[in-house]
Structure 1
Amino acid sequence: MQFSSPEGEHRYADLVRVADRTIVGLDFDGTLAPIVDDPTRAHIHPDAADALIDLAPQVAAIAVITGRPARQALDLGGLEEVGDAIQGAGKELFLFGQYGNERWSSRQRRIVSPRPPRGLATFERDLPRTLRQADAADAYVEDKGLAVAVHTRRLPDPGEAFERLLPPMRALAEAHGMVVEPGRNVIEVRSPGAHKGMVVEKLAAELDARGFLFAGDDLGDLEAFEAVTELEKTGLAALRVCSASQEQSALLPLADVVVTGPSGVVGLLRQLRLDIMQSSAIG
């Protein structure tokens, strides 16, 4: 765990002091789960479940906020079992899928989801032609139900293919009333409106939080970082954690704490628990 500045270290200490009213928010891919070529095999770090379960009694709630479909994240992360353990400790695990369009919690035990957005079906109809024209016909297309993600990671030059494909994908999305969410060698197309920042704001208000930690790794987490910054202006303790990688550095200038990938996130969660317990013992 590396603080980006003395201010970051102070923010961490402030968060520890209000831990019992703090929400710990976490992205999934690149934060809890390593990035892999096949997104259907992105299981969370082997120590992440225990770290979440151990930390939960010390904080107000834990929330996983992801662009993945909620059911997929629950299955890949074993999060229903994690939720059972957290609920048994008298706390709650939240999961927000597809940038907040889907919601599940360890208390409600069901996924609340809207209907697919207008324009998605016609976008999917026109997508193969756009991929062929961009010489990316072999890109992996993931149907998320409420969104579509095109992965370039399996192509010969993933980065170059991503840059080549982004402009026509953006144009196609706009033609169908959709928006583009670029990521690490993935271009996601979804309906406008929902984003991770909205989840941060609403959950903080719902739980009357006094602190919010959010950990992410990619461009899709920018809105969450910005929302945490806005909450800080209202007096909440705030901490922005970047799960850093060589592929993506957009969050680094905004982060208070920098860790290396999911293993670093697990280490942070464990250290946070120890620091909270030590602070409580002193207090």
Structure 2
Amino acid sequence: MPESEPHPESETQRGRPTHPLSAADAWQFTASRAAETTLFFDFDGVLSPVTDDPDASQPVPSVLGVLEELAGAVGRVAIVSARPVSFLRSRFESLTHVDLYGLYGLEVWHGGAVVTEPAALPWVPAMAELAERAKAELPEQILVEYKRLSVALHYRTAPQLAQTVERWGHEQAERVGLRIQGGRMVVELKPPVDQDKGMVIGEGVLDARCAWYFGDDMSDIKAFDALRAREAVDPDFFGMCVAVANPETGAEVSSAADLTLESPEAVAGFLADALHAFRR
């Protein structure tokens, strides 16, 4: 075995299992350090099925109780989403011990208060203007989702317009000085502020010894990378990357993950089964 690759036993001796390992073994190890574990979840496509109308998205009903119980079993549970915190709160208002990161971490709900990244606030007027411009200039089949600090252009109901939306989005990004985030049938324009899911996870695991991230889209690969990076510098840290299958970005996300689940409903069932490891 090349010197650059550690022998599998060396990681185990340092207290961390090697990848790949079964889900059951991963949960059993996680339970052994539950108090120092954080579970991170994307929302759309992970806790909720993706819908044609973003406003219609709802979490899988059974997942709410599971998340609340998990929040009582591990150190921390957090949802990291492209949605605004206000939207996430409307879907998870029954949860009292789950942190919410909205707009890729530009907004954070923690301990009963919302904190917004100060560097993003000056861009609110530009985003409002951009949303109005999109509604006026793009075909009416394109759903324009205004999020105060970003604008998402959904073409799920009109996939033939993908190139039109992407071209328009890149033109506006260059005109205004914005960044673009691609996703599942969506082009999103964001302020030029250094914040993404990878940075959220990188900061969120600094005091953790174990973390899981569940994602389904291209932006979630940065979160996977953050867990890998933490493992690389901390031999005692253990991370698990879980992908959720989908027809648009599924192959790329799954190739970056430790395991893949078939749907948000499967995620809810997977988490419910995992609770047994924490009840022993």
Q: What residue number does 1:170 align with?
A: 170
Q: What residue number does 2:115 align with?
A: 112
Gap regions ≥5 residues in structure 2 = 1-17
Verify the 8 A CA contact 1:11 1:238 in the aligned structure 2.
no
Aligned pair count reads 253
Seen in structure 2, the aligned counterparts of structure 1 residues 143 and 20 have a Cα distance that, compared at 3 Å, is same
Verify the 8 A CA contact 1:14 1:237 in the aligned structure 2.
no
Verify the 8 A CA contact 2:68 2:98 in the aligned structure 1.
no
Letter in 2 for 1:104: W
Q: What residue number does 1:281 align with?
A: none
| Equivalent position SS for 2:95 | helix
1:165 deviates by 2.1
Residue correspondence of structure 1 range 1-283 to structure 2 within 5 A: 7-9=20-22, 11-75=26-90, 77=91, 79-83=92-96, 92-105=97-110, 108-113=111-116, 114=118, 115-117=121-123, 119-121=126-128, 123-124=130-131, 126-128=133-135, 131=138, 136-155=139-158, 158=159, 160-192=160-192, 193-205=194-206, 208-233=207-232, 234-235=234-235, 236-249=237-250, 250-278=252-280
1:45 deviates by 0.3
Of all paired residues, the percent bearing the same amino acid is 28
Counterparts of 1:188 and 1:240, CA distance in 2: 24
**TM-score, length basis structure 1:** 0.82
1:272 deviates by 2.0
Counterparts of 1:252 and 1:163, CA distance in 2: 25
Gap regions ≥5 residues in structure 1 = 84-91, 279-283
1:259 deviates by 0.6
Verify the 8 A CA contact 1:16 1:272 in the aligned structure 2.
no
1:167 deviates by 3.0
1:184 deviates by 1.0
Seen in structure 2, the aligned counterparts of structure 1 residues 266 and 70 have a Cα distance that, compared at 3 Å, is same
Counterparts of 1:174 and 1:260, CA distance in 2: 37
**1:1-48 residue CA offsets vs partner (Å, 9 max, x unmatched):** xxxx96142655543432221100000111111111111110100101
Runs of 4+ in 1 over 6 A off after TM superposition: none
**1:245-280 residue CA offsets vs partner (Å, 9 max, x unmatched):** 1232221101112111211111221122212333xx
Letter in 1 for 2:148: G
Counterparts of 1:212 and 1:93, CA distance in 2: 15
1:174 deviates by 2.5
Verify the 8 A CA contact 2:77 2:98 in the aligned structure 1.
yes
Letter in 1 for 2:95: V
Verify the 8 A CA contact 1:242 1:258 in the aligned structure 2.
yes
Q: Which has the higher contact order (CA 8 A, sep 6+)?
A: 1
Verify the 8 A CA contact 2:66 2:268 in the aligned structure 1.
yes
